[in-house]
């Protein structure tokens, strides 16, 4: 309990001071999105229509969303899943995307979203779709996902600026263009099992939940995991697809073996080599998207696991940005040590 309270205190301090020293934040009057009251309750996104978490729920880890499973396969190698109560195929292709006016009216009426944010989201999507960064079904998923709920309070006015922003605990929410590129590269379908390493704010998994019925995400920073779990729970009544996001607190280097193999894996933290457990958990003909490289600069790689007719496996790597570097936060273990430079 004391460790948890210490983590909360540290997170609050970082939430207050990081926006003053990191780009992409408004330094004056910065307010953390998650405000801890004196009575121990957690107010999510102060000033919005969201619920509070009773202090009685904070003494234990919140239970993550649990996938709807049938049973393990006879050899124990794979857990079979059923179609969840909310089926993403019901919404795919139903979003009006032929005009800004129709899109805004649809989302405002169905989900009660603010028109100003919807207009900004539309404009950003139209800019990104002119490039390879936002194509196919990823465009609809991007338009359906309210980024304003996943940035921190100090950055609400810049929710749709095409830049990364701090979210506390040394973590960030990724630039929309990079999120679009990684999502487009994954080429997710409803039946795919998709594993995300690094839940962070929850924005990337929220987008994936508009493409797949089976999304899994792992976060190693406990206070951030708690905050995002509460955020998802608060948004689920309006966005039922978020119930299909299975959440886990742990070290993503080792994946989530119970639900492997995964058709798609996305890593949202930097590492200089491919984690062997993730390669093993990637399904035949599966795709992994990962920022590979040293801490100073990485390249977003599309890694395809190709199986030939004889059962031989090869990994094909493609630099999706063709030599343009990016910079993600480090992929670290439970002791806070970066996996870069470590032998897998």
Q: What is the pLDDT of residue 36?
A: 30
Instruction: Give 308's pLDDT tier (boundaries 50, 70, 90).
Output: confident
Q: Is 61 part of a structural domain of the chain?
A: yes
User: Which of 172, 77, 188, 197 lies closest to 139 in space, CA to CA?
Assistant: 188
What tens digit of pLDDT does each residue of 281-304 get?
999 999 999 999 998 899 999 999
Residue at 339 is within a domain:
no
Position 92 in a domain: yes
What is the percentage of the chain residues whose pLDDT exceeds 90?
69
pLDDT digits (tens, 9 = 90+) for 169-179: 999 999 999 99
Residue 326 in domain: no
- Determine contact, residues 88/209, Cβ cutoff 8 Å: yes
| pLDDT tens, position by position, 98-136 | 999 999 999 999 999 999 999 999 999 999 999 999 999
The full 3-state SS of 141-191, as one line of letters, equals: HHHHCCHHHCCCHHHHHHCCCCCCEEEECCEEECCHHHHHHHHHHHCCCCC
295 falls within a domain: yes
Tell whether 324 is covered by a domain.
no
Q: Does 41 map to a domain?
A: yes
Asked which of 14-18, 53-57, 220-224, 292-296 is least confident by mean pLDDT, the reply is: 53-57
CATH number of the domain encompassing residue 296: 3.40.50.150
Q: Is pLDDT of 35 > 60?
A: no
Domain count, the chain: 1
- 220: domain range? 2-319
User: Is there a domain that residue 189 lies in?
Assistant: yes
């Amino acid at each position: 309990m004391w460790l948890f309270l210490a983590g909360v205190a540290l997170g609050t301090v970082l939430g207050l001071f990081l926006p003053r020293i990191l780009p992409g934040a408004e330094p004056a009057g910065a307010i953390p999105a998650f405000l801890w009251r004196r009575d121990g309750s957690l107010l999510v996104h102060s000033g919005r229509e969201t619920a509070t978490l009773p202090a009685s729920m904070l003494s234990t880890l919140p239970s993550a969303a649990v996938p709807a499973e049938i049973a393990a396969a006879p050899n124990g190698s794979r857990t079979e899943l059923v179609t969840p109560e909310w089926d993403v195929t019901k919404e795919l292709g139903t979003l009006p995307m032929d005009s800004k006016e129709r899109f805004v009216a649809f989302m405002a009426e169905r989900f009660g979203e603010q028109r100003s944010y919807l207009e900004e989201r539309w404009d950003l999507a139209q800019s990104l779709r002119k490039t390879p960064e936002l194509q196919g079904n990823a465009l609809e998923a991007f338009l359906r996902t309210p980024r304003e709920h996943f940035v921190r309070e100090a950055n609400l006015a810049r929710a749709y600026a095409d830049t990364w922003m701090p979210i506390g605990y040394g973590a960030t929410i990724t630039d929309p263009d990079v999120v679009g590129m990684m999502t487009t590269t994954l080429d997710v379908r409803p039946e795919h099992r998709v594993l995300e390493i690094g839940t962070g704010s929850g924005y990337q998994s929220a987008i994936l939940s508009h493409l797949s019925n089976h999304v899994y995400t792992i976060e190693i920073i406990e206070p951030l995991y708690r905050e995002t779990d509460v955020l998802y729970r608060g948004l689920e009544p309006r966005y039922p697809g978020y119930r299909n996001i299975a959440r886990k607190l742990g070290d993503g280097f080792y994946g989530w073996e119970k639900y492997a193999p995964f058709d798609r894996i996305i890593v949202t933290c930097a590492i200089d080599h491919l984690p062997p457990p993730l390669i093993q958990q990637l399904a035949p003909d599966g795709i992994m998207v990962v920022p590979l490289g040293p801490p100073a600069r990485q390249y977003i790689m599309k890694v395809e696991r190709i199986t030939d007719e004889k059962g031989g496996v090869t990994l094909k790597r493609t630099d999706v940005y063709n030599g343009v570097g990016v910079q993600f936060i480090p992929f670290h273990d439970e002791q806070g040590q970066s996996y870069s430079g470590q032998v897998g």
